Amino acid sequence: MNCSAGHELSGKVATVVISLKVAAEKENEYRRWQEKVTDLARGFAGFEDSELHPPADGEGDVWVVVYRFSDIDRLTAWLDSDVRRGMLEQGGHLFDAPPRQEVMAGEAPTRDIVTAVISHEVLPGKEQDFARWQAKVRKAQEGFPGFMGFELFEPVPGVQDRWVAAVRFDTREHLDRWLESEERASLLKEGRSTFADYDVQKVRSAFSGWFRFDDEESSGVPPNWKQAMSVLLALYPTVMILNLTAGKLFQKAGIPDYLSLFLSNVLSISVLTWFAMPLVNRVFAAWLTARPGSPAPRRFGTAAIILCYLVLIAIFALITR
């Protein structure tokens, strides 16, 4: 990577994902040690946030800790510091293997989903073949339910020499479906000529929002007018159904209006949060995140939502009549 590329990296949010294989029956001691390490990291310039992820069910004894700094230079200063080196020596007896780390420099966070961080040791002279193979992997991922984005990070000079791919899905189930698919297994066989080995770490939702995935047809956060239209699409039927059901029950029970309104709001927010909005966002995901000038079918999202408004109004007009 040339000097200008290194200068560009220094202005981007930098994240390191560290995988640690904690020795049996050392978990509690490791937690205390990790808290001390994180407290020390907070004292370094550029520190923004950190997370600790215990092993997921069925995924062994590997813990994952994530640190985010304001740029790659400040992250490197922490990783190479005498303070951190001393803590690693002090906690060496807690691990069955040396810690592994993947460093990525990306943009500011945009949304909260599920990410798999996959590091590759690319064979010398195979970098271009590897990048072309990753493009095929991305194309295959796009056909799987819940795919939200992909980004490929080149090695960071002086920090790590591995390539890192980050793929995100809307749920853990959808991510696992891709990772365990026959299509991915076939692609791995095809790409084995370009890399020596690889490592996969699945990190739960909060970390995945630390990157902006620059999809060809996605702009990340939807504009306010699209968010308003989608909220209205979920809110209108929710309120109408609750008025026709719970509202009448509250009225028959003689519950005062101020309390009835409060209870109705609790129900409507619950329905919106855990059912209606996730459904609307999933159905209209392509439209919500489409870039200006994207393919025509995605521009039909506005017309589709307006049509849904009209259908819902007609349905409730017949019901209430």
pLDDT tier, 150 (very low <50, low <70, confident <90, very high otherwise): confident
* DSSP classification of residue 178: H
158 or 176: which leads in pLDDT: 176
pLDDT tier, 57 (very low <50, low <70, confident <90, very high otherwise): low
Average pLDDT over residues 101-110: 64
Q: Pick the closest to residue 35 from 55, 50, 20 (CA basis).
A: 50
Distance CA 192, CA 67 (A): 30
pLDDT tier, 108 (very low <50, low <70, confident <90, very high otherwise): very low
Output the DSSP codes for 6-24. Answer: HHHHTTSEEEEEEEEEBPT
- Predicted confidence at residue 203, as pLDDT, reads 66
Name the residue ranges covered by the structural domains of the chain: 3-208, 224-320
Report whether pLDDT(294) > 60.
Answer: no
pLDDT tier, 213 (very low <50, low <70, confident <90, very high otherwise): very low
Tallying the residues shown for the chain, one arrives at 321
- Predicted confidence at residue 315, as pLDDT, reads 93
Report whether pLDDT(113) > 50.
Answer: yes
Phi and psi angles of residue 302, each rounded to the nearest 5 degrees, phi first? -60, -45
CA distances from 35 to 28, 64, 87 (A): 11, 13, 11
- How many degrees, rounded to 5, is the angle at CA 121 between CA 27 and CA 78? 50
Write down the pTM of the prediction: 0.45
Report whether pLDDT(159) > 70.
Answer: no
- Lowest-confidence pick of 77-81, 178-182, 208-212: 208-212
- Quick one: tokens of 25? 């029956």
CATH 3.30.70.100 fits 3-208, yes or no: yes
- Lowest-confidence pick of 15-24, 260-269, 295-304: 295-304
230 or 299: which leads in pLDDT: 230
CA 108 from centroid of its chain's CA atoms: 12
- Work out the percent of the chain whose per-residue pLDDT is above 70: 80
Report whether pLDDT(209) > 50.
Answer: no
Average pLDDT over residues 182-207: 81
- Predicted confidence at residue 206, as pLDDT, reads 41
Q: Which pLDDT tens digit goes with each residue over 234-289?
A: 889 998 999 899 888 988 888 888 888 888 888 988 888 888 888 887 788 777 76
- Predicted confidence at residue 182, as pLDDT, reads 94
When the pLDDT of each residue in the chain is averaged and rounded to a whole number, the result is 80
pLDDT tier, 292 (very low <50, low <70, confident <90, very high otherwise): low
Q: Pick the closest to residue 70 from 47, 50, 51 (CA basis).
A: 47
